Amino acid sequence: MISEIQIKKAIKGDKEAFYAIIEPIQEKLYKTAFVYVHNEQDALDCVYETIYKAFVSIKELKSPTYFYTWIIKVLINTCMDKHRQDKKIELTNENLLKKITNANDLETNTYENIDLMNAIKSLDKIQRDMLILRYFENMSLKEISEEKNMPLGTVKSHISRGITSLRNILRWEC
């Protein structure tokens, strides 16, 4: 658990406090980055770049309570920048299966997991973002609403539509 005191110290420029708040969330940052870039090395690059950006700009953080939401937003923007640079990132099913296992600690290596990841990739950006934040990052609807600057009802609608789209995509593939 990240303490607000450590975040406040990091905002004031304490390097050790910054490392103390980053260390427990590095794995979550990596998993989130991997969902966006679908490549181990690119995910690591995005995490490192995010940590650097966070270190440089943490003084701009308005409230310590929003640290996690803020750093996830920085990470997502970094991943989207990376994705724009690369344009196309193709993975074979075999590589995807290996990377899903490494990145998301899924209990079983099944084709259903591959289908799910491919289905998530095929959603439009807003639905994909909402589902990733909600189910991969375990963020509350309120946190997503605040991060995306959207009304709570809109967030719920996007998540609901995303789930419906996933069901339709996965049903079609069966």
pLDDT for position 102: 46
Decide: residue 55, CB within 10 A, 0-12 exposed, 13-18 middle, 19+ buried.
middle
Q: Does residue 42 lie in a domain region?
A: yes
Q: Does residue 68 lie in a domain region?
A: yes
Cα–Cα distance, 64 to 57 (Å, whole number): 13
Question: Which one, of 36, 48, 43, 38, lies nearest residue 129 by Cα?
Answer: 36
pLDDT for position 92: 37
pLDDT per position as a tens digit, 111-162? 666 677 778 888 888 998 888 888 888 888 898 998 889 998 899 889 888 8
Q: Does residue 74 lie in a domain region?
A: yes
CA distances from 55 to 27, 31, 52, 76 (A): 17, 20, 5, 16
Q: What is the CATH number of the domain that holds 51?
A: 1.10.1740.10
CA distances from 152 to 28, 32, 120, 137, 170 (A): 24, 22, 22, 17, 27
Question: Which one, of 14, 99, 40, 33, lies nearest residue 71 by Cα?
Answer: 33
Q: Across the chain, how many H-helices and E-strands are there? A: 10, 0
The residue ranges of the chain whose pLDDT is under 70 are 1, 85-114, 172-174
Q: Does residue 154 lie in a domain region?
A: no
The total number of structural domains that make up the chain:
1
Q: Does residue 118 lie in a domain region?
A: no
For 61, the domain range is 1-89
Q: Does residue 46 lie in a domain region?
A: yes
Q: Does residue 164 lie in a domain region?
A: no
Q: Does residue 135 lie in a domain region?
A: no
- Single-letter residue type at 78: T
In angstroms, the first-to-last Cα distance of the chain is: 41
pLDDT for position 39: 82
